[in-house]
C-alpha cells in the first residue's frame, strides 16, 4: 500500500520457497510490492523441482523459459493461470524439444490468462494443433478458456482467435465494466460466429462486473444464436443493449420466423445473467 517492505522480507520469502515440498498438487503464488520481480528466480527454480503431482498453478510471476518448458511437459497439470506470454518459439525448441514431437500441456483442462501478452498462448496452442510446431495439443482443443483484462476491449479480433478451439465447453471473457464505460465491442455477428464455431459450449461468460453503460452493440438476437447453435449451453452471462429493447425484440421475432429458427431445438439454459 505504498509502504516500503522491511529489509528482511525477501530473505524470509526465499527461505519459505526453498522449504516448499515439490510434491505439492496445487500452488498459488500472488505477490505484489515488487516481490514478484525479486523472487522470480527462486520460484522458477522451485517449479523445476515439481513433478507429476502438480495439478494446478496460479501465479502472477514471470517465470524463466526453463520453468515454462517444464510446466508444458508435466503430465498431470490441469489448471494453468498466468499473465505471462509464452517464450519465443526458438527458445522453446532450444530448451524443450531436442528430439522430435512432444505434447504441449498433455492434461490441461483450464487455461486462465490475464492481460494482452498472455493471449499469445492461443497462437501457440493453435500452431501445435496445426502441426506447425514440434508439439501436439492432445484432444484437439482446450475444454476451458478464461481471459481477463480490466480495460482491453472485447471485440471481433478476440473472437477470431478463439474460433479454432472447437472443443471448448466453457469460455469466460471477464470485462471490467464496473463503474466505467462498457468495454464490450461484441456484435450479434461476433456472437453468431462464436456460437457456430463452438457448438459444445456449456457455459459462456461475455461479461463480468455489472455493466451500467448500455453502450454495447450486442442485442437480444444473440440469445437466439446461442440457443440454437449451442444446444448444450446451461449457463450464460452476457451484456446486451437495453436502450431499444422493444424494437430489438420485434426484430428478433421477425428474424427467427424468416430464417425458420423458431422451430429448432433450443439449449437447456438454467442460468442467465444479464
**DSSP 3-state of 246:** helix
Q: Per-residue pLDDT tens for 24-74?
A: 899 888 877 777 777 888 889 989 999 899 999 998 888 999 999 899 889
Q: Per-residue pLDDT tens for 123-132?
A: 888 888 887 8
The residue among 103, 136, 169 that closes a domain is 136
Q: Is 227 within a domain?
A: yes
**Same domain assignment for residues 273 and 152:** yes
**Same domain assignment for residues 267 and 147:** yes
| pTM reported for the whole predicted model | 0.86
**Same domain assignment for residues 108 and 206:** no
Q: Is 2 within a domain?
A: no
Q: Is 77 within a domain?
A: yes
Given a contact cutoff of 8 angstroms between Cβ atoms, the answer to whether 220 and 190 are in contact is: no
What is the pLDDT at residue 96? Answer: 64
Q: Per-residue pLDDT tens for 198-254?
A: 999 999 998 766 666 677 888 888 888 999 999 999 999 888 888 888 888 888 888
**Same domain assignment for residues 116 and 207:** no
Residue 139 scores a pLDDT above 70: no
**Same domain assignment for residues 145 and 241:** yes
**Same domain assignment for residues 207 and 88:** no
Q: What span, in angstroms and rounded, lies between the C-alpha atoms of 62 and 36?
A: 8
Q: Per-residue pLDDT tens for 87-115?
A: 887 887 777 665 566 778 889 999 999 98
**Same domain assignment for residues 273 and 157:** yes
Residue 2 scores a pLDDT above 50: no
The residue among 114, 136, 158 that closes a domain is 136
Q: Is 73 within a domain?
A: yes
Strand order in the sheet with 110-114: 26-29, 56-59, 79-82, 110-114, 144-149, 170-175, 203-208, 235-238, 271-273
**Same domain assignment for residues 149 and 132:** no
Q: How many domains does the chain have?
A: 2
Lowest mean pLDDT segment, chosen from 19-28, 40-49, 78-87, 176-185 = 176-185
The domain of 211 spans 141-274
Q: Is 17 within a domain?
A: no
What is the pLDDT at residue 3? Answer: 56
- Between 176 and 244, the more confident residue is 244
Q: Percentage of the chain surpassing pLDDT 70?
A: 90
- What does DSSP say about strands 79-82 and 102-103: parallel, antiparallel, or unpaired? unpaired
**Same domain assignment for residues 130 and 183:** no
Q: Is 105 within a domain?
A: yes
DSSP string, 11-75: HHHHHHHHHS-TT-SEEEE---TTHHHHSHHHHHHHHHH--TT--EEEE-S---HHHHHHHHH-T
The whole-chain average pLDDT of the chain stands at: 84
**Same domain assignment for residues 204 and 105:** no
**Same domain assignment for residues 159 and 100:** no
- Between 166 and 212, the more confident residue is 166
Q: Is 12 within a domain?
A: no
CATH of the domain at 242: 3.80.10
Residue 136 scores a pLDDT above 50: yes
Q: What span, in angstroms and rounded, lies between the C-alpha atoms of 189 and 187?
A: 5
Question: Could you give the angle at the alpha carbon of 186 between the alpha carbons of 163 and 60, nearest 5°?
Answer: 70
**Same domain assignment for residues 42 and 171:** no
Q: Is 212 within a domain?
A: yes
The residue among 67, 102, 136 that closes a domain is 136
Amino acid at each position: 500500500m505504498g509502504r516500503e517492505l522491511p529489509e528482511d522480507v525477501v530473505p524470509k520469502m526465499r527461505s519459505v520457497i526453498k522449504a516448499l515440498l515439490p510434491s505439492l498438487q496445487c500452488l498459488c503464488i500472488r505477490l505484489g510490492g515488487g516481490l514478484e520481480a525479486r523472487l522470480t528466480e527462486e520460484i522458477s527454480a522451485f517449479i523445476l523441482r515439481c513433478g507429476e503431482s502438480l495439478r494446478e498453478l496460479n501465479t502472477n510471476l514471470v517465470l524463466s523459459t526453463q520453468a515454462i518448458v517444464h510446466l508444458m511437459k508435466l503430465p498431470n497439470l490441469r489448471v494453468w493461470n498466468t499473465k505471462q506470454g509464452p517464450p519465443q518459439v526458438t527458445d522453446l525448441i532450444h530448451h524443450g524439444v531436442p528430439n522430435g514431437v512432444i505434447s504441449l500441456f498433455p492434461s490441461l483442462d483450464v487455461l486462465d490468462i490475464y492481460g494482452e501478452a498472455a493471449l499469445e498462448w492461443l497462437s501457440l496452442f493453435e500452431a501445435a494443433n496445426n502441426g506447425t510446431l514440434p508439439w501436439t495439443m492432445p484432444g484437439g482443443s482446450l475444454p476451458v478458456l478464461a481471459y481477463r483484462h480490466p480495460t482491453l476491449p472485447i471485440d471481433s479480433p478476440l473472437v477470431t482467435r478463439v474460433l479454432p478451439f472447437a472443443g471448448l465447453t466453457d469460455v469466460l471473457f471477464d470485462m471490467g465494466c464496473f463503474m466505467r464505460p462498457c468495454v464490450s465491442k461484441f456484435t450479434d455477428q461476433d456472437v453468431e460466429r462464436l456460437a457456430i464455431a463452438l457448438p459444445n459450449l456449456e457455459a459462456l461468460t461475455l461479461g463480468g462486473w455489472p455493466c451500467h453503460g448500455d453502450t454495447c452493440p450486442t442485442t437480444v438476437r444473440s440469445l437466439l444464436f446461442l440457443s440454437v447453435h449451442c444446444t448444450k449451453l446451461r449457463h450464460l452471462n452476457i451484456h446486451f443493449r437495453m436502450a431499444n429493447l422493444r424494437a430489438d425484440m420485434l426484430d428478433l421475432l421477425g428474424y427467427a420466423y424468416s430464417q425458420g429458427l423458431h422451430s429448432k431445438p433450443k439449449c437447456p439454459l438454467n442460468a442467465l445473467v444479464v
